[in-house]
Amino acid sequence: MAKTMTKAAVLGHLASKTNLSKKQVAEVFDETLTLACKEAKNGFVLPGFGKLVLANRKARIGRNPQTGEPIKIPAKRVCKFRLAKSVKDAVLGKK
């Protein structure tokens, strides 16, 4: 199984493909992350990549995997990332 790219590897690759230094690419990454966290409640879109959205999950009954005993899982708010169709098609192949 192939290893996942580290942040340093991603920054190095993007720096080599652009005319930016690794430090500049890291700053862009960090600013994008900060903006995404701040704007997530309104929906944050990275065009061509996907959308960060908040969703409400309903309360439900789950099971303790060790004992099989039913447990109540409370309702909560979660953050989801929805990939753009172009990314899904590139990774999974077209249907």
Give the pairing of strands 60-63 and 50-57: unpaired
Mean pLDDT of all residues belonging to the chain? 93
Q: What pLDDT is attached to residue 33?
A: 93
Q: What pLDDT is attached to residue 90?
A: 92
Q: What angle do CA 84, 15, 33 make, to 5 degrees?
A: 50
- In angstroms, rounded to a whole number, what is the distance separating the alpha carbons of residues 90 and 61? 37
| pLDDT tens for each residue of 53-82 | 999 999 999 999 999 999 999 999 999 999
Do the Cβ atoms of 43 and 51 come closer than 8 Å?
yes
Given a cut of 90, is residue 93 above it in pLDDT?
no
- In angstroms, rounded to a whole number, what is the distance separating the alpha carbons of residues 20 and 38? 26
| pLDDT tens for each residue of 5-33 | 999 999 999 999 999 999 999 999 999 99
The structure's pTM equals 0.74
Q: What pLDDT is attached to residue 1?
A: 65
Do the Cβ atoms of 57 and 89 come closer than 8 Å?
no
- In angstroms, rounded to a whole number, what is the distance separating the alpha carbons of residues 46 and 73? 32
